[in-house]
Structure 1
Amino acid sequence: MRKTWIAAVACALSFGLAACGGSAPSGAAGNAPAGGVSPEGTIKIGSLHPLSGAAAADGQQMDNGAKLAVEAINNAGGIAALGGAKLELLSADTQGKPEVGQSEAQRLVQEGAVGLVGTYQSAVTANVSSVAERNKVPLVIDVSSADSILAQGYKYTFRVQPSSTVLGTRAAQYLSEVSTAANTPAKTVAVLHEQGPFGTAIRDSFTAEAQKLGMTVGPAIAYDAASVPDLTTQMTQVKAAGVDVLVVAGYYRDGVLAAQAVQTVQPGVDAVYGVANGAFDLAQFPAEVGQAGEGFFDANYHADMTKPAMQDLANLYEERYGDTIRTGAVLSYDSVNVIAQALQKAASADPTAVRDAIAGGSVDTLLASSGPIAFDEKGENKNAIPILMQVQGGTIRQVHPDSFAEAAPVYPGQPAPVSR
């Protein structure tokens, strides 16, 4: 039953694979391996994620998502245009460290990877993208939002998720829309963010748009996501500022710390509002923090659970790994499919040919989006958007825009402070 579903998904994603009845394009190698295919008939793709360290839970999810995509494609017959060549995933642990990610990317290229996916942390992806560019091997970014990565004019790096500019800009717009509709317009905002390229870029893009919309933004408080033991000191600063809304941009562990600090300090805000937050829109978050996270918002990329194929992937993931799938894993799944379709379209595993096919391709996505994955001249996914979610009754619900909403937003999202 599982293999039947995997083959069906691969066919639905229109890769033209052998098991879907696809035929090789004119000039393709129908019976013999082509350039980039090993003598064993396999094509190597590298998966670079933090499999250890503070972000290991997310990194392992993403590597698992890449594995499921490879499995689906192989069980559907491989890459038809290359004689049914199968994909082989090479997994590497970046440890969440830029220098390790860089050396591991170089190792995977030397081992024959014709494409890379990764890496979760923007600082790591910045180094890996330079390796991809230098070696002329395409990198498909699953998760890493910092604008600076693609500001280098790279030709071999593509991003599936929304950029930090899109995330921060849309998040400010959604906050204005939801709070105004509730007759409690957000006027003052504090930003609590991890100090790396990701958090800094989100801070800057959100601030620029929020100010255009008439909000006053400040203070902006940075922290080291890898080492911060708790966020009560930072939350005390937020409380002292007397703002309407607290924006939080960070990863999972520090997202949990933020919820715990909100419960302890009670900063008196109308809303705790994540922007690309690595915790606030995950099913694990309310389960871990309980009432402390109730009402939290997050403006973020997200799997579209209204799609039957996404529902099936979520069920398979839970069956296979005993865990609820996170959107990062779905992005990794989609990223492998971007490379797979490019291999089919190019009828070659030459990395430059694959790069060109990625640049001109269009791939169905399992994410909430405004269209299929398609890249502009900078390598950004033109149709990538965030949606707004909220913890309601211990469940993550899609609440805005209306086209994706499962429930109405509850604003203010935080209860009144408890008197002490």
Structure 2
Amino acid sequence: MKKVVGVVAAVALVGTAACGSSSGSDGSGPIKIGSVHPTTGALAGVGGLMNDGAAMAVEDINAAGGISSLDGRTLELVSGDSQGKAEVGQSEAQRLIDDGAVALVGTYQSDVTQNVASVAERSRVPLVIDVAVDDKILDQGYQYTFRIQPNASSMGTDGAKALAAIEEQTGQAIDRVSYLHIEGSFGDSVFDAFEKEAVNQGISSVQEITYPATNFSDATTQVREAAVSNPDVIVATGYYPDGLLIANAVQQLNVNVKGLYGIANGAFDDSSFPGAAGPAGEGVLSANYHFDATDDRVTDIRTRFQEKFGRPMETAAMLSYQAVEVIAAGLEDGADADPEALREAISGVSIEDPLLAFSGPITFDETGQNSNATVIVMQVRDGAVTQVFPEEFAQEQIQFPTGGGR
């Protein structure tokens, strides 16, 4: 196995992706990589960021000389808009493959990714998942799909382990948990794994409260229900809008808990969350995959991204950047832009300098899951998201109970 070649050096340079319409595995023109994300609709904010992250990776790799083992061939990003809809994502993926894409990255939503993965498998073109957590995607036995981030069950399991470790580190008992999560396979699978591991970690009570995936505009009822069991911690799994609603409701109802703790929560580790939530966000904890804020290469990439696009580079966009690097590593290792040869090469890559806070290199097991993907814990401190656990990634010590907790 081989680490990324010509990719790490690329971040020190700023380049522009080569233009051209010919591409693919014929040995001429740029090698096309398809990007499928929700660039319009309710999730356009994060989808646009992710597409920009992929585009920046392509530019950096090209600026560093392209794919050296293929005589410096450049990459070209071709983009598709899923609109946040599974059937649209599927048709967009097929369009990009028909246009010559030899690999795909995407898609942020698990249901969209499931459809795109089926297209990739049928077309025998590799898909590198940047964000999509549902276990079921890789449970299909697909050979052409790879995932960098942890899956739902591991996030639920690791989230429970981290909560128990916080209890041990701070000496603050965590016996009762109320768990709010979005309806559907995403929320269900994270919760189920958490509940199972919580028993092993000595958490005696886990109360489940769900909320709808659409038309959810007020979390007061659900948070009030969560408070009935007098929990030590309220846990929340969902997307950005609902996470913000939950944090605001916890503050407005003055719920007396030791902490609000997100697992796979799309809000609590987003850099815009502290400003949007104000006092309601201070002290909120989040167990999630996250870019490694202690890494110099990450800092350089994020600084250049902000300068180029005028907005912060969130973890989802960093994963899109990393997904392109995975494909570039496969192209380097396999020295072949044919999709089937590229799939074989990606299955054996080992990227020793992941951009996320993982404890080991990016390597894929037989299912296509990154073997070393895990979560870390962050906390909103003085209006900023800060890494607090485990120690190897911590920027500051964790505060628990959080502000106002018992």
Secondary structure, counterpart of 2:76 in structure 1: strand
Equivalent position to 1:308, from 285, 293, 296: 296
Check the 8 A contact 1:365/1:373 in 2, yes or no: yes
2:355 aligned with 1:375: no
Equivalence map 1:5-404=2 (5 Å): 15-17=4-6, 36-37=25-26, 39=28, 41-363=29-351, 364-404=353-393
Decide whether aligned partners of structure 1 residues 94 and 18 sit closer, same or farther in structure 2, where only a CA change above 3 A counts: closer
Deviations 1:297-332 (Å, cap 9, x if unpaired)? 001111112211111111101101111110111100
Check the 8 A contact 2:334/2:342 in 1, yes or no: yes
Distance in 2 separating the partners of 1:270 and 1:296: 10
Once the two structures are overlaid, the 10-residue window that deviates more, 395-404 or 333-342, is 395-404
Letter in 1 for 2:34: G
Check the 8 A contact 1:189/1:247 in 2, yes or no: yes
Secondary structure, counterpart of 1:214 in structure 2: coil
Letter in 1 for 2:370: N
Letter in 1 for 2:90: Q
Check the 8 A contact 2:178/2:227 in 1, yes or no: no
Check the 8 A contact 2:23/2:30 in 1, yes or no: no
The two structures have a TM-score, normalised by structure 2, of 0.92
Percent identity between matched residues is 48
Deviations 1:188-239 (Å, cap 9, x if unpaired)? 1111111132211111111110111121344322223343112111111112
Distance in 2 separating the partners of 1:313 and 1:229: 35
Check the 8 A contact 2:93/2:119 in 1, yes or no: yes
Distance in 2 separating the partners of 1:83 and 1:37: 14
Check the 8 A contact 1:251/1:279 in 2, yes or no: yes
Letter in 2 for 1:195: E
Structure 1 residue ranges, 4+ long, deviating more than 6 angstroms after superposition:
18-21
Distance in 2 separating the partners of 1:146 and 1:318: 30
Check the 8 A contact 2:180/2:236 in 1, yes or no: yes
Deviations 1:62-117 (Å, cap 9, x if unpaired)? 11100100000111121122232211111111121111111111111111111111
Q: Hey, what does 2:19 align to over in structure 1?
A: none
Check the 8 A contact 2:3/2:349 in 1, yes or no: no
Distance in 2 separating the partners of 1:38 and 1:90: 18
The two structures have a TM-score, normalised by structure 1, of 0.89
Deviations 1:109-163 (Å, cap 9, x if unpaired)? 1111111111111111111111111111111011111111111111111000011
Letter in 2 for 1:103: S
Over the aligned positions, Cα root-mean-square deviation in angstroms equals 2.1
Distance in 1 separating the partners of 2:7 and 2:309: 28
Check the 8 A contact 1:18/1:80 in 2, yes or no: no
Distance in 2 separating the partners of 1:221 and 1:18: 44
Once the two structures are overlaid, the 10-residue window that deviates more, 179-188 or 140-149, is 179-188
Distance in 2 separating the partners of 1:287 and 1:168: 27
What is the CA distance between 1:175 and its match in structure 2? 0.6
Letter in 1 for 2:290: H
Decide whether aligned partners of structure 1 residues 270 and 81 sit closer, same or farther in structure 2, where only a CA change above 3 A counts: same
What is the CA distance between 1:14 and its match in structure 2? 6.1
How many pairs align?
A: 393
Check the 8 A contact 1:342/1:358 in 2, yes or no: yes
Gaps of 5+ in 2: 11-21
Decide whether aligned partners of structure 1 residues 20 and 296 sit closer, same or farther in structure 2, where only a CA change above 3 A counts: closer
Check the 8 A contact 2:23/2:32 in 1, yes or no: no
Distance in 2 separating the partners of 1:336 and 1:35: 15
